[in-house]
Structure 1
């Protein structure tokens, strides 16, 4: 594909992620995207071939945005709790990136009972994010900024749950304070953990 074709494809995918976050990735057909972009369906099909290829491109694009807006900025922070806090704050902020909230929350809810390459791509992206969060928690434990007996998987579960709840409250219930509450919840949980680490009984 030419550079012009790559640029057109990238621009189309960028718009498609926003639409899919609102309307669902399954409902985003080549025809629906063509209508939204005021292009011909054949023009979209020339660039993507099939609906599945379009869907996989959307998942990849959403992953790149997550990496750009969350992972890379967090990695600039000092290892340990500072980086973990930054990761969580950026992840919560990411919920405002797409028109329909977190793309992966929407796609996971839509595809979790199905099978196929698109569902697998979404599951893989979510698993990678969880693995990254677990790595940062484990690093904070090794640096003794969290208690040595921290239940890492439980803490990861609770931190991720706060992101999911924030997205739910913001998108479904229209609660404007959802992101602030999520950040407060993360701070409170980590302060509890670090308080345990400082306890003489530890």
Structure 2
């Protein structure tokens, strides 16, 4: 990685942390300049607009998500073990950023707002749901889940559980959120056992 790429990555790391705390709409070039110690004009040269800063930060979040959630899960054996590893990796993802899951934050901001950010966010979330469904499909193929399991329904339930966990952890400060999430996930997996 060149020095310029390293600098851009470090800037986007800071931008991602800020977005996780204040949202993408709260992320500004001025705020990022303060966090990085760079000039606004220097940052403007990297991004050219607030929207480009937001879009590039969201794409950077995708790379972090792949490294934190997807890669570790894919290292687990196919089948139920991989499904469980995916869930455990997502629980860890909630702690990677200062403000928790940046996708939950972004969904609240952009679910009813047309534009490039909403489109990019929807693509990321659709890819996530497809990944969950694909991994559930391996559990079916391995004989761990029933043959009549609907992978898309499983993905819906898995995702809904992660959103509930986020609320209990971040908004409600529930000390039992992790235990509750794991217990709920065990029940979900048990529903699909072969």
The TM-score normalised by the length of structure 2 is 0.94
Aligned twin of 1:97: 96
Task: Note the residue ranges of structure 1 that are not aligned, 5 or more in a row.
Answer: 198-202
Q: Count how many residue pairs are aligned between Structure 1 and Structure 2.
A: 194
Does the 8 Å CA contact 1:18/1:99 hold for their aligned counterparts?
yes
Does the 8 Å CA contact 2:134/2:151 hold for their aligned counterparts?
no
Aligned twin of 2:12: 13
Distance 2:53 2:42 in 1: 13
1:118-144 superposed Cα distances (whole Å, 9 cap, x missing partner): 111111111101000001112211222
| Stretch moving more, 171-180 or 65-74 | 171-180
Summarize the alignment of residues 107-118 of structure 1 with structure 2, pairs less than 5 Å apart: 107-118=106-117
Distance 2:6 2:150 in 1: 45
Aligned twin of 1:25: 24
Deviating 4+ runs (over 4 angstroms): none
How well do the aligned residues superpose, as a CA RMSD in angstroms? 1.4
Q: Tell me by how many angstroms 1:104 deviates.
A: 0.5
Higher radius of gyration, 1 or 2? 1
Distance 2:178 2:52 in 1: 33
Does the 8 Å CA contact 2:15/2:57 hold for their aligned counterparts?
yes
The TM-score normalised by the length of structure 1 is 0.91
Distance 2:176 2:54 in 1: 32
Distance 1:186 1:53 in 2: 37
Aligned twin of 2:77: 78
Does the 8 Å CA contact 2:15/2:32 hold for their aligned counterparts?
yes
Does the 8 Å CA contact 1:5/1:47 hold for their aligned counterparts?
no
Task: Note the residue ranges of structure 2 that are not aligned, 5 or more in a row.
Answer: none
